[in-house]
Amino acid sequence: MSKTENKQKTGENIDALYLHIPFCEKKCEYCDFCTFINMEHEYGKYTEALIKELKMYPEYEYDTVYFGGGTPSLLSIKMLSCIMETIKYTRNAEITLELNPNDMTEEKLQELRKIKINRLSIGIQSFQNHILKFIGRLHNGEDAVKVFENARKAGFDNISIDLMFGIPNQNMKDLKKDLEMILQLSPDNVSIYSLIWEEGTVFWSKMQKGLLYQMEQDLEAEMYELIIDFLKANGYEHYEISNFSKKGLAGRHNLKYWKNKQFLGVGMSAASYYKEKRYSNVRNFYKYYKFIDENIFPIDEKSVETVDETEYYKLKNMLGLRLINEGIEYFDDEKSESLLKRGLLEKFNKGTRLRLTRQGILLANDVFMEFI
């Protein structure tokens, strides 16, 4: 293990911070994240608790800060500003805020710039109104275009958008229209997600009742390949299995996850990888506030996993293979040789590294299972 890796192991150079804001206007029918609706009365109290939790950790200087959720943009500028004032960050830090197209005015976008938010992740999912309605989104295609254009006017030169595929009733024509709109808007990063049927969601319940059916795997794979080919043909780098960016604008925060670097997560349900431990916070307001009031880290003890050296390298390889061009260091063992023979991995960089092939990208989960 290198000196840099050892510093990561002991938590000496933590430089990535995730903040979970668990509020939404509406729960999407496919979502199983820790989010709550109609909780405006909790915004202030939760912000105060989150700041207290932040202060319980050492004062690290963060290179990336990520406000996720939920919908962080539901918090007032004053609340977001109070959180930002608590954080110490580097001069060129990447500071990202997730937002939905229907909860952001041009004025608020300008205010976000003033408090040093410099990157946006917009949950567009689709520009097709019938798809947005089907998955339970509150915005429409016009809202999506408008918020993107307003963000550019406000000075944001690093914007990521989310795009979903593999949705029941979605067809190739719908997807092609979405891709053409992406080309027109020209975001700096595109994150793609196939629909995952999570137990406990509205979609899961409808599937159990026979009201919805999963898309055929061949069609979903065809959609994925269309996205890859279209975005690459139009100047985007496919740098991670689910992410594409313009040159030099890959999302720095998530890259730290995929490079198996340690990070802190604060807020309900937030995950951390800190001092040889992986863990998540509790998902209940009462428990979260109680821990914070008692100056105790609000960790869900059932979630704590120790990352020993074996687990460290297992994670490093599994996560590293998500990086399309970087891959991982070549190692000669039965698993890697089998994956090479099956055409799911290939050697590169004079045989010193391994990466997924095109077929390996399509069957990535099968490859990752070999490392678990």
How does pLDDT run across 139-198, given as a tens digit for each residue?
Answer: 999 999 999 999 999 999 999 999 999 998 899 999 999 999 999 999 999 999 987 777
Look at residue 297 and tell me if it is in a domain: no
Q: What is the CATH number of the domain that holds 97?
A: 3.20.20.70
Q: Are residues 206 and 342 in the same domain?
A: no
Range with lowest mean pLDDT among 199-203, 245-249, 288-292: 199-203
Q: Which band of pLDDT confidence, cut at 50, 70 and 90, is reported for residue 30?
A: low
**pLDDT at residue 6 in the model:** 55
Instruction: Answer yes or no: do 218 and 351 share one domain.
Output: no
Residue 3 reports pLDDT greater than 80? no
Residue 82 has pLDDT above 90, yes or no: yes
Containing structural domain, residue 87: 13-258
In this predicted model, what pLDDT tens digit does every residue of 338-361 receive, in sequence order?
Answer: 999 999 999 999 999 999 999 999
* Structure confidence at residue 11 as a pLDDT band (50, 70, 90): low
Q: State the total domains in the chain.
A: 2
Residues 326 and 253 in one domain: no
Query: How confident is the model at residue 102, as a pLDDT?
Result: 84
Q: Are residues 250 and 316 in the same domain?
A: no
Distance CA 355, CA 361 (A): 9
To which residue do tokens 């391994």 refer?
Answer: 354
**Residues 219-236: tens digit of each pLDDT:** 999 999 999 999 999 999
Residues 253 and 334 reside in one and the same domain = no
Q: Residue 21 domain-assigned?
A: yes
Q: Per residue in 104-153, pLDDT tens?
A: 888 999 999 999 999 999 999 999 999 999 888 889 999 999 999 999 99
Is the same domain home to 225 and 331?
no
Residue 264 lies in a domain: no
pLDDT at residue number 137 = 84
Q: Which of 53-62, 159-168, 331-340 has the lowest mean pLDDT?
A: 331-340
Task: Give the model's pLDDT for residue 136.
Answer: 84
More confident residue, 196 or 265: 265
* Whether residues 82 and 177 fall in one domain: yes
Instruction: Look at residue 4 in the predicted model and tell me its pLDDT.
Output: 55
Query: Is residue 36 over pLDDT 80?
Result: no
296 in a domain, yes or no?
no
Does 201 have pLDDT greater than 70?
A: yes
Query: How much is the mean pLDDT over the chain?
Result: 91
- Of residues 199 and 224, the one with the higher pLDDT is 224
Residues 314 and 231 in one domain: no
277 falls within a domain: no
Residues 241, 312 within the same domain: no
Domain boundary among 242, 258, 274: 258
Mean pLDDT over residues 304-323, rounded?
A: 94
Same domain, 253 and 312: no
